[in-house]
Amino acid sequence: MPAGQHERHTEPFAVRLAAAIRSRRTPACVGLDPRRESLPTVLGAADARDPAAIAACFARFCREVIDVVAPLVPIVKPQLACFEAIGPHGMTALADVITHARSQGLLVLADGKRGDIGSTAEAYAEGWLAGPWACDALTVNPYLGNDSIEPFVRSAEARGAGIFVLVKTSNPGSKDFQDLVCEGRTNFEHVAAGVESLAARTAGTGRYGAVGAVVGATWPKQLDDLRATMPHTWLLVPGFGRQGGRASDVRGAFHADGLGALIVSARDVIFAHARPEMNSGLADHQWQTAVDRACHDMLDRLAADTPAAALRG
Amino acid sequence: MPAGQHERHTEPFAVRLAAAIRSRRTPACVGLDPRRESLPTVLGAADARDPAAIAACFARFCREVIDVVAPLVPIVKPQLACFEAIGPHGMTALADVITHARSQGLLVLADGKRGDIGSTAEAYAEGWLAGPWACDALTVNPYLGNDSIEPFVRSAEARGAGIFVLVKTSNPGSKDFQDLVCEGRTNFEHVAAGVESLAARTAGTGRYGAVGAVVGATWPKQLDDLRATMPHTWLLVPGFGRQGGRASDVRGAFHADGLGALIVSARDVIFAHARPEMNSGLADHQWQTAVDRACHDMLDRLAADTPAAALRG
């Protein structure tokens, strides 16, 4: 095995994800998006004088968030941009956070929206799914075409990992190119057809494949449609909470048994210390309790208003 | 200024790029894509036992390539995937390589094809264009829409940096989504129209703006068309050399005065020690001489067969 390579998982990603969701009885995914200006004041990020000190704050913050949510959710999603933004020290902190999440029994989805061609795509795929970062899954941008996605699929299958391909993103500007009508259907439906084909191919005898799709919580109608046309595809649904998506908006992402979707919340959970409805009665140093409350709140709302209720059944 | 932030450049990126091209009398851009299996044997990468040792080989290799090409070309393009693939140590090596390239008077274009929404796009933009990485430009993926590109434009303008947005990539699979005909024109033409609009907006009274476009050397017809429809846009043209693009194929990317295009070669130059026509008479430890020969060969071919001849005029 090359230096820094990790062993293959025994079970495919889709099977491990379903098992983790059943075990925690929720499809919630907590996004790890550390921001210097949003961290609890007791961590001292505002006073950090150099990137190494900021990176240390990020690592400590994420490790403590992980300690709170590890018993509650199946998977966490580090946002690579937040760590990259502070330079090489940030990437060292990210590696530490990933290792800690794995050690606490969480699956780890690296949100990097990577995409490139040929051997460059292979480098990203090997690094994030097999090599030193050793994440369970990675988000991938499809603009470069199906041959740019294949290296990620090959690495994912070889490692027992997964990818989530951007299909219809949560932002208003997703209409600009994703919604263009091309030869009878939208551009994102063309991408979705390719993703479902890869999901079906990699599912083998299983229900879901190694290739999932990203579809924003802000598009309930499209979630309904894509759930129907992508039966073998896990849907990763960002935009729950701050970006305006409600539990009722994401109902369509699920199959009736509560599987088929991962619902992401980041800031609402990890920065819950700044939410009046979550920080009531807490001192600054008790910010982890606000994270715990906000995470439970998210789980309760998903169980109350979506087919994820079946997981508690 | 926040920790790790660099000062603004006095001149806009487009002006600095044109000056650097005129100074070196060539539009050639050398891609820095270190691969463990392709490095000169004397660097010992094959025997490196851990990521730190591989990263040290990458840094040494890129620094020595930079020392050869710095007097010859205006800009280098590190491929972020190659460094990410070996983990945090790779990112530390990348920072070292960027710093060295800047110290040798080169512009630095980070090839990361990043793209995300809102504050996440801001984090990428600040990190790569203003913060600790402090590159002169970054490649950006447009799939998420125009509002996902805006944060990169804002950071680029604030810093005197630039971005290059993927329009029509060099790979065969670029046909899958980029070539779909949507409401009367191809998807990539829709993206190109948005890019030219941003380029014109950011050009002010100058000729070119802070926003460029990536168009593969493998598409001579599209280069012609896009040069005509994107007058304020720098074109970054990968795929010269190994990917099949010849000097005559990239003629259309230029304006008559030899400006308007950057032509990228990576493996053909940096791994020239493995090319029989470049390594003749050289011992293994003289691999830098092969890089020098291959770089001169590229410069001569561009001067012989494209409007870049005017730069030597």
For chain A (length 313 residues), average pLDDT per consecutive 10?
Answer: 65 98 98 97 92 97 98 98 97 98 98 97 96 95 98 97 98 97 96 98 96 96 98 95 82 97 97 96 97 97 96 90
- Residue-level pLDDT at A5: 60
Residue of B79, B97, B113, B153 to mutate when probing chain A, most A C-beta within 10 A = B113
Pick the catalytic residue: A77, A113, A168, A221? Answer: A113
Window 17-36 of A, Cβ < 8 Å to B: 33, 35
CB A133 within 8 A of CB B161: no
Told to judge if A221 belongs to the known catalytic residues of this protein, a careful annotator would answer: no
Q: How many residues does chain A have?
A: 313
Is the CB of B50 inside 8 Å of chain A's CB atoms? yes
CATH level 3 topology of B13-35+75-82+109-312: TIM Barrel (3.20.20)
Q: Reduced to 3 states, what is the DSSP secondary structure of residue A78?
A: strand
More confident residue, B7 or A159: A159
- Chain B, nearest residue to A53 by Cα: B3
Question: Which token pair is B76?
Answer: 């280098």
B183-214 pLDDT tens trace? 899 999 999 999 999 999 999 999 999 999 99
CA distance A279 to chain B (A): 24
Put simply, the answer to whether B145 touches A175 (Cβ < 8 Å) is yes
For A290, the enclosing helix (H) or strand (E) is: helix A287-305
pLDDT band at B239 (very low <50, low <70, confident <90, very high): confident
Q: CA distances (Å), A260 to each of A14, A200, A290, B221, B243, in order?
A: 10, 14, 29, 44, 40
Locate the domains of chain A by residue range: 13-312
Please tell me if residue A194 touches chain B, with a CB cutoff of 8 Å. Answer: yes
Interface of B with A in 76-95 (CB under 8 A): 79, 81-82, 84-92, 94-95
pLDDT bucket at B3, cuts 50 / 70 / 90: very low
The answer to whether the beta carbons of residues A169 and B145 sit under 8 Å apart is: yes
Residue A15 sits at the chain B interface (C-beta within 8 Å): no
CA distance B11 to A176: 32
| DSSP character string of A109-158 | EEEEEE---HHHHHHHHIIIIISSS--SEEEE--TT-HHHHHHHHHHHHH
Q: Is B115 on the interface with A (CB under 8 A)?
A: yes
Testing the interface with A: which of B36, B77, B143 to mutate, by most A Cβ within 10 A?
A: B143
Strands A28-32 vs B107-114: parallel, antiparallel or unpaired: unpaired
CB B66 within 8 A of CB B295: no
Of A86, A143, A146, Cβ closest to residue B132: A86
Distance of CA A185 to the CA centre of its chain: 27
Minimum distance, in Å, between the CA of residue B122 and any CA atom of chain A = 9
Hey, are the CB atoms on A3 and B54 less than 8 Å from each other? yes
B114 touches chain A (CB under 8 A): yes
> What global pTM score does this model have?
0.97
How far is Cα B134 from Cα B239, in angstroms, rounded to an integer? 26
Chain A CB contacts of B144 below 8 Å? 113, 166, 169, 171, 173-174, 178
How far apart are alpha carbons B234 and B18 in whole angstroms?
10
Judge whether residue B1 has pLDDT over 60.
Answer: no
Is the CB of A169 inside 8 Å of chain B's CB atoms? Answer: yes
Helix (H, G, I), strand (E, B) or coil at A87: coil
Query: Distance (Å, rounded) from C-alpha B233 to C-alpha B236?
Result: 9
Check A49 against B118: CB less than 8 A apart.
Answer: no
Contacts of A273 (CB under 8 A, 6+ apart): A40, A279, A282, A284, A287, A290, A291
8 Å CB contact between A308 and A240: no
Q: Which tokens hold the place of A198?
A: 């890869």
Q: In what order do the strands lie in the sheet with A185-186?
A: A185-186, A181-182, B181-182, B185-186
Query: Which among A127, A145, A191 has the least Cβ separation from residue B84?
Result: A127
- Cβ of A173 within 8 Å of Cβ of B145? The answer is yes
According to DSSP, the residues that pair with B262 across neighbouring strands are: B236
Contact A121 B178 (CB under 8 A): no
Q: Give the β-pairing of A261-265 and B162-168.
A: unpaired
Write the residue in B84, B133, B187 that is nearest to A177 by C-beta. B187
B138: region left, alpha or beta (phi > 0 left; psi from -120 to 50 alpha): beta
- Please judge whether B3 and A48 are an interchain contact, meaning their C-beta atoms are less than 8 angstroms apart: yes
| Closest among B218, B305, B300 to B28, alpha carbons compared | B300
Whether the complex's predicted ipTM is more than 0.90 is answered with: yes
Measured between CB atoms, does A178 come within 8 Å of chain B?
yes
Phi, psi of B50 (to 5 degrees): -150, 165
**CA dihedral sign of residues A241, A63, A141, B12:** positive
Residue A90: list chain B partners with CB under 8 A.
127, 132
Query: Of B216, B220, B15, which Cα lies nearest the Cα of B107?
Result: B15
Q: Which residue's structure tokens are 């990675």?
A: A138
Contact at 8 Å (CB) between B202 and B154? no
Contact status of A189 with chain B (Cβ, < 8 Å): no
- pLDDT at residue number B96: 98
User: Three-class SS of residue A23?
Assistant: helix
Q: Distance (Å, rounded) from C-alpha B39 to C-alpha B285? A: 12
Percentage of chain B lying above the pLDDT 70 cut: 97
pLDDT digits (tens, 9 = 90+) for B30-73: 999 999 999 999 999 989 989 999 999 999 999 999 999 999 99
Contact A147 B172 (CB under 8 A): yes
- Touching check for B214 and chain A: CB below 8 Å? no
DSSP chain B: --TT--PPPSS-HHHHHHHHHHHHT--EEEEE---GGGS-GGG-GGG--SHHHHHHHHHHHHHHHHHHHTTT-SEEEEBHHHHHTT-HHHHHHHHHHHHHHHHTT-EEEEEEEE---HHHHHHHHIIIIISSS--SEEEE--TT-HHHHHHHHHHHHHHT-EEEEEEE-SSGGGHHHHT-EETTEEHHHHHHHHHHHHHHHHHTTSSS-SEEEEE-TT-HHHHHHHHHH-TT--EEE--BSTTSB-GGGGGGGS-TTS-SEEEEE-HHHHTGGG-HHHHTT--GGGHHHHHHHHHHHHHHHHHHHSGGGGGG-
C-alpha A209: how far from chain center: 16
Report the distance separating Cα B163 and Cα B104, nearest Å: 22
Give residue-wise pLDDT tens across range A173-186: 999 999 999 989 99
Residue B44 burial (CB count, 10 A): 14
Confidence of residue B8 (pLDDT cuts 50, 70, 90): confident
Q: What is the mean pLDDT of chain B?
A: 95
Fold of the domain spanning A13-312: TIM Barrel (3.20.20)
pLDDT at position B98 is 98
Do A126 and B85 make contact, defined as CB atoms within 8 angstroms?
A: yes
